[in-house]
Amino acid sequence: MWSFFKNNHKEKIDINANIDLERIPKHIAIIMDGNGRWAKERRLPRTMGHRQGVIAIKRIVKECSQLGVKYLTLYAFSTENWKRSQEEVSALMNLLVEFLISEINELHKNGVVVNSIGNISGLPEKCQEQLKASFERTKNNKGLVLNLALNYGGRDEIVNAVKKLVTKVDAGELTEEDINEDVLSRLMYTGGMPDPDLIIRPSGEQRLSNFLLWQCAYSEFWYSNIKWPDFSVEDLHNAIYDFQNRDRRFGAVK
């Protein structure tokens, strides 16, 4: 079905053999880092790194969908990214619109549900329109949920959830005794989704950068020096393979 990338799966046969297809992580989240450095190394403008990053998005979405990952959350624009130059911000917004317009048929055909986390009302109108059209078109699909983190910040998300909580308490819908982790989880942008099992950060940095702060309590982290535009299907397989060999105890003793 997928035709994003033809003949790009030479390596898949061998590497997939190492992955237990019965234990694919349900939710993978990725901090798509290194686009700027990728471009700099090639003496290209930073925006070319982002453009190449979109190509990586396409191959990783396709592979996650084929592997049966249920949720893929991509950190595409943080609440802090507004501090970048006007030119770069605007290039990123244009890439988002371009991506949604050019890929929506393919995504829809393959059962992908397009979703977002973050405060999208802060995005330019054209992005909001394209996002809403994509949500509407794909909302009844049953495949991979592609969660685009846009104007997203983990702290902002927690503040936002607390505000919703206070509103509910004020309205008498909840009392102090009702408040617990589940209630707060449901008020996050990710409400109703499982926490990420695996968080991937390419490009050599080993920090969270305000990503999924509430949800990452028991996520497994996977870092690599590869820059996001170069992130391959093989890298994804390696991350999943490593994940499958971790001993997840969730604080308990086996």
- Which residue, 99 or 189, is less far from ligand FPP as judged by CB? 99
- Site for ligand FPP, rule CB under 6 A: 32-37, 50, 53-54, 57, 76, 81, 92, 95-96, 99, 148
> Which residue is catalytic, options 33, 195, 197, 235?
33
Give yes or no: 81 in active site.
yes
CB of 130 to ligand FPP, least distance (A): 11
Contact between 82 and 111 under an 8 Å Cβ cutoff? The reply is no
Which residues fall within 8 angstroms of residue 188, CB to CB, at 6 or more apart? 157, 158, 161, 214, 215
- Which residue, 33 or 63, is less far from ligand FPP as judged by CB? 33
- Which residue, 83 or 249, is less far from ligand FPP as judged by CB? 83
CB of 107 to ligand FPP, least distance (A): 12
User: How large is the greatest C-alpha to C-alpha distance in the chain, in angstroms?
Assistant: 59
- Which residue, 36 or 143, is less far from ligand FPP as judged by CB? 36
Measure the CA–CA gap between 155 and 191, rounded to whole angstroms.
15
> Which residue is catalytic, options 7, 8, 35, 81?
81
Residue 166 CA: distances (Å) to CA of 169, 182, 215 = 5, 15, 20
CB of 229 to ligand FPP, least distance (A): 8
Measure the CA–CA gap between 136 and 61, rounded to whole angstroms.
19
Catalytic residues: 33, 81
